[in-house]
Amino acid sequence: MKTKPALICPACETALDWNEKECRCARGHSFDQAKEGYLNLLLSHQRKSNHPGDDANMIQARRRFFDSGALDLVTEQIKKSAIGNHQSAILDCGCGEGHFLGALSEAHDGQFFGVDVSKEAVRCAAKRYKKANWIVANAMRKLPFADHSLDVILSVLAPRNPEEFARILKPDGALILGVPGPNHLIELRSRLAANAGDFEEKADEAAAKCAPHFSETHRELLCYEQTLNAAQIADLIQMTPIFWCSSPEAKAGVQQLAELKVTVSFVLLTLQHA
């Protein structure tokens, strides 16, 4: 049975009671649970467009890419880093279609919460992964969790809000950031953009951005070669917005490849309250 999280109302910040059908605070603000089981806590003034975040095409491409197994080693490493004890309350902030949190929730006991600003992403996550709680919310605003209520916050390739992470993470909790490592997908990126960066600085930049609130306690680099087939290449281009601005010729060239060997490089940073 799912355990409900220590949520706070996005309108008035008092505690939210989330029962089987709806979610309501003591002041009477109520939020419906969608038929897929997720909760929409995104207030209309907290979004810049009617469909913020990744769209349905990107989400489906991301799901197919994960399902193809190309990032299974990354998933295993995240599972190892994110699980502390059996009672852990874990938030995946910017969870997308739910792959990483879904894998964690299926392998371990605990309380699992996934937040994304994209309703399509959260719906997709909620349809597949039933052991986690899925919430639509804007991570750049106040996150709908009580102060110091989470053991682990996971943020993989997603926007980060260090101030809010510091507020909602327990004093001995861990913030785990997944960022692209040196030369991540360089073989693909250099074909699509003339000035593809080497990504050497990404992990340091991520740690520095969190520095006022967090200090780094551990760093893990995972790097391997992966041969992608044509379908995987197409999905990777579809799910990665930086590839969209590459020239039509460069994109057509890449899309004609039957396969391409790429470097997969990920850095997992563990940080704790400073």
List interacting residues with Zn ion (CB under 5 A): 9, 11-12, 25, 27, 29
Residue 54 interacts with, from ligand SAM, Zn ion, none (CB under 5-8 Å by kind): ligand SAM
Residue 98 interacts with, from ligand SAM, Zn ion, none (CB under 5-8 Å by kind): none
Q: Which is nearer to Zn ion, 10 or 178 (CB)?
A: 10
| Shortest reach from residue 9's CB to Zn ion, in Å | 3
| Shortest reach from residue 102's CB to Zn ion, in Å | 29
Residue 265 interacts with, from ligand SAM, Zn ion, none (CB under 5-8 Å by kind): none
Sign of CA dihedral 211, 214, 218, 223: negative
| Shortest reach from residue 191's CB to ligand SAM, in Å | 20
Q: Which is nearer to Zn ion, 25 or 122 (CB)?
A: 25
Q: Which is nearer to ligand SAM, 160 or 254 (CB)?
A: 160
Alpha carbons within 13 angstroms on the beta-carbon side of residue 155 total: 22
269 sits in which H/E element: strand 259-273
Q: Which is nearer to ligand SAM, 95 or 252 (CB)?
A: 95
| Shortest reach from residue 55's CB to ligand SAM, in Å | 9
Residue 96 interacts with, from ligand SAM, Zn ion, none (CB under 5-8 Å by kind): ligand SAM
Q: Which is nearer to Zn ion, 14 or 57 (CB)?
A: 14
- Dist. CA 25–CA 129, nearest whole Å: 26
Q: Which is nearer to Zn ion, 25 or 192 (CB)?
A: 25
- Dist. CA 126–CA 132, nearest whole Å: 8
Residue 139 interacts with, from Zn ion, ligand SAM, none (CB under 5-8 Å by kind): ligand SAM
Q: Which residues, in sequence order, are bridge partners of residue 270?
A: 176, 218
Alpha carbons within 13 angstroms on the beta-carbon side of residue 74 total: 27
Taking alpha carbons only, the member of 157, 117, 154 closest to residue 239 is 157
| Shortest reach from residue 248's CB to Zn ion, in Å | 49
Q: Which residues, in sequence order, are bridge partners of residue 179?
A: 267
- Dist. CA 186–CA 10, nearest whole Å: 41
Per residue, the 3-state secondary structure of 104-162, as one string, reads HHHHCCCEEEEEECCHHHHHHHHHHCCCCEEEECCCCCCCCECCCCEEEEEEECCCCCH
Q: Which is nearer to ligand SAM, 159 or 253 (CB)?
A: 159
Which residues of this protein are in contact with ligand SAM, per CB under 6 A?
53-54, 62, 94-96, 99, 116-118, 121, 138-140, 156-159
Cβ atoms of 154 and 118 within 8 Å: the answer is: no
Residue 15 interacts with, from Zn ion, ligand SAM, none (CB under 5-8 Å by kind): none
| Shortest reach from residue 21's CB to ligand SAM, in Å | 25
203 sits in which H/E element: helix 202-210
Residue 125 interacts with, from ligand SAM, Zn ion, none (CB under 5-8 Å by kind): none
